[in-house]
Structure formats: C-alpha cells, structure tokens
Amino acid sequence: MRIESVEFFYAAMPSITLEADGSQDALLVRVVADGVVGWGECEASPLVSLAAFVTPRSHGVCQPVSASVLGERLDSPADIARISALVARNSMDLLQAPHTYSGIEMALWDLLGHAREEPVWRLLGYDASYPKVAYASLLFGDTPDETLSRARSATERGFRAVKFGWGPFGEGTPEADADQLQAAREGVGRDTTLLVDAGQIWGEDVESAALRIPALEDARVTWLEEPFPAHAYAEHAALAARTRTLRIAGGEGAHNLHMARNLVDYGHIGFLQIDTGRIGGIGPAKAAADYAAGKGVTFVNHTFTSHLALSASLQPFAGLADHRISEYPAAPKALALDITRDHLLPDADGRIAAPEGPGLGVSVDLDRLGGYVRDVEILLDGDQLYRSPQVGGVAASSALHGIGRA
C-alpha cells in the first residue's frame, strides 16, 4: 500500500475554559492508503500541530512532517518504524513534529490493522490483550467537599481506583492539600486505590513537594504524578528518595523514548506513564513499555481525551499481564465522547482491555463530530497550504496530497 492522503479534523467545544482538561478540543487524523482508512489523534495544540504538517521547509532537517509521510509505502510494522525514522531525521529542528506525527503514527497502525484484519496489539507481537483496572481520572474540586462528592460518585460508578489532579492542589498550603487528600480518601473508601497528579505545580522545588509527603502517605496514596517537569530527572530522584510507601510517577511529558528511559534510570520513578499522542505514537510507547518492564517499573498509559486515544494508549502494554492499571477519562467533555461510536466501558470488576477488533477497534463518528469541527485555512503569499476537509466528504484541498516534496 502507498499513503495517498493525510487529513486533519480540528474539533473543539464551543467554549474553552482554563481547566486542565485536554478533552476540550481535539485534532483527529485520517490516513488513507490504497483505499484503506486509519484514524489517530494528536495530543497537543491542534492548530500548531496542523501547521507542522504543512509548514514550508526551512532547511534539510526542518521539513514539514508531510515530506516524510505522503507517498510512502505501508505494508508492515517495519514500514511504520521506517517512516518514523524519516520524520525524526527530516523534521529534526521542527519541535512540534513529534506531537503532529504521534497522531499520524496511530493512524498508520490502525490502517495496517484494518488491512490485515488484526488488532494493533497483535501486530505489536502480543498474543493476548489483558484487562487493566481502569482508574477514574478526575480533577480535584475547588473545595474538599467537591472532591469528596466526586470521589463518592466515582466509586458508585464502580471504579476500583481513582486519581485526582490539578485544581487547587499544590497552589496553597500543605495543610490545605492535606484536607483535599483526606476528602478524597474518605470519598473513595478504604479499599480503593487512590492516586494524585500534581501537574508539575512545584517546578523544580523538591522541598515544597516533600512537604506534602506525610499527608500523601497518611492518605495511602499509591503514587504522586508529575511533581516536576518531565526533564527534571534529579528532582524526581531526590523526591523519590524521601518517600516510604509513596511512589513517584511520570512520563506523559516525554516526547521521545530517551526521555522515558531517563525518567526510569535517573528519575527513579516507580510508574512510567506514556501518552501515545506525544511520544511519537504507538511504536515508541511499546518500546518504553518494554524498557519499563525490564527495569521493574510499572508501565501505565496516559490519556485524558477520547476513546480513540484511550484505545491507542492501551495497545503498547496490552500484552503485559503484570502491568494492570490504566488511566480512564471518567468525566470528559461531550466532544471526547462524540468522537467515536464505540466506547471502552469498564466491566463488572472495573476493568478495560484493548479491543479485539481490527486496528484500534473503535470507529470515528464524523456525523456527530460535525458540530465541533473548526474551519481552518492556511495561506502563504496567497497560496493555500491547507484547508479543512469537509466532514464526511472529500478533502477540501489537494495541497494535502503532495505538500513538501517540491
């Protein structure tokens, strides 16, 4: 097969808030090769990521992502790895390239899975897709009472694990954070796994983060996620050395495999969380999962948007039976739910698994997506570099079928 076209659908809620909620907009990718279709989703600013696909070349290693994708052959997983290497080389100085290509790479796996009538996890070499305990991924309430209510609601829905993040946590005093943690623990009950995401709130300030350790451990929190930026390896390690029962988690900010490895080797994290929409797609995420498993670190998916992204995030560790916990966006915006016809629903034991169907095992619902799609046109010196495709129709610009080769 040969890649004929790559089309992007920029969708957004009518109003975007300042919540740390990535489900408010989306950049979907549709790839076509010899009439077979694959879908992916970028986890980044849609307009910026889209521009990285069509931007004019600046020089030999600052080319648009399109230059390494359009027209390439796609017949095997080895071809996906080869295209990934082309993007890494040709767009070396285009820093948005990994985010843009991540969604494309997902779509390549989905397309290849449909062509072979196999689920992606089987193409990755796994024999089975093992169920994972889905943890409800939620934001802290503005008050402990709101957090308590959200926690109770999550357990009533059957979740056996719950994560709270962002909101006011870390912005006030350690005492205020302790109140939030106790409310969360009270709400989920004694036996439910409780997780916390700090959202890099302390920068590189290890001491401020360490002040929260007693309250975190008193609330029996399993992990503290992203206390610092992903590249702050020494700070992660310093904090990890000061905990007893608490473990440090991180990795969603890794936009290449080396960053993921460094968090394991130098950051001494206990849980490696990788977002297939940021690290370069499913292939690099699978390599990160294998590396974590070899180092005795638990691999966890990171995802907070649609069920398309959720399925993609499950594929890299679907066959790892001992890595048993999965992020689950429990309260996404309507857009995220409307993207696909299929939803991955937890079973009676609160578990989900990568689908058995071909590709990613979910189908995009363009009809429902129509009300969210933004109309984008990019001009340079009056020439059209990009125009949004029609929802359910043919691409509105032939520029998407040959950019970056002249």
pLDDT band at 32 (very low <50, low <70, confident <90, very high): very high
Report the alpha-carbon distance of residue 256 to residue 311 in Å, rounded: 20
Using an 8 Å Cβ cutoff, are 239 and 201 in contact?
no
pLDDT digits (tens, 9 = 90+) for 85-116: 999 999 999 999 999 999 999 999 999 999 99
pLDDT band at 396 (very low <50, low <70, confident <90, very high): very low
The average pLDDT across 272-282 equals: 97
Fold observed for domain 3-118+363-401: Enolase-like; domain 1 (3.30.390)
Indicate if the pLDDT at residue 406 is higher than 90: no
Indicate if the pLDDT at residue 368 is higher than 50: yes
Indicate if the pLDDT at residue 404 is higher than 60: no
Question: Closest by alpha carbon to 317, among 346, 292, 339?
Answer: 292
Residue 274's beta-bridge partner residues?
A: 301
- Enumerate residues 6+ apart whose C-beta is below 8 A from 283: 77, 80, 81, 84, 105, 109
Q: What is the pLDDT of residue 393?
A: 46
Domain coordinates in residue numbering, the chain: 3-118+363-401, 123-352
pLDDT digits (tens, 9 = 90+) for 346-359: 999 999 999 999 99
Q: What is the pLDDT of residue 85?
A: 97
pLDDT band at 395 (very low <50, low <70, confident <90, very high): very low
Q: Which amino acid, 288?
A: A
Indicate if the pLDDT at residue 283 is higher than 70: yes
Q: Cβ–Cβ contacts within 10 Å for residue 145, how many? A: 12
Q: What is the pLDDT of residue 286?
A: 98
Handedness of CA 384, 389, 393, 398 (dihedral sign): positive
pLDDT band at 22 (very low <50, low <70, confident <90, very high): confident
Indicate if the pLDDT at residue 206 is higher than 70: yes
Give rounded-to-5 percent helix, strand, coil for the chain: 35, 20, 40
The average pLDDT across 50-60 equals: 95
pLDDT band at 392 (very low <50, low <70, confident <90, very high): low
Report the alpha-carbon distance of residue 27 to residue 370 in Å, rounded: 13
Using an 8 Å Cβ cutoff, are 13 and 333 in contact?
yes
Fold match between domain 3-118+363-401 and domain 123-352: no
Percent of the chain clearing pLDDT 70 (strictly above): 96
Indicate if the pLDDT at residue 261 is higher than 50: yes
pLDDT digits (tens, 9 = 90+) for 329-339: 998 999 999 99
The average pLDDT across 220-237 equals: 97
Please state, rounded to an integer, the average pLDDT across all residues of the chain: 94
Report the alpha-carbon distance of residue 244 to residue 375 in Å, rounded: 52
Report the alpha-carbon distance of residue 96 to residue 278 in Å, rounded: 10
pLDDT digits (tens, 9 = 90+) for 288-328: 999 999 999 999 999 999 999 999 999 999 999 999 999 99
Indicate if the pLDDT at residue 20 is higher than 90: no
Using an 8 Å Cβ cutoff, are 257 and 81 in contact?
no
Fold observed for domain 123-352: TIM Barrel (3.20.20)
Indicate if the pLDDT at residue 140 is higher than 70: yes
Report the alpha-carbon distance of residue 288 to residue 291 in Å, rounded: 5
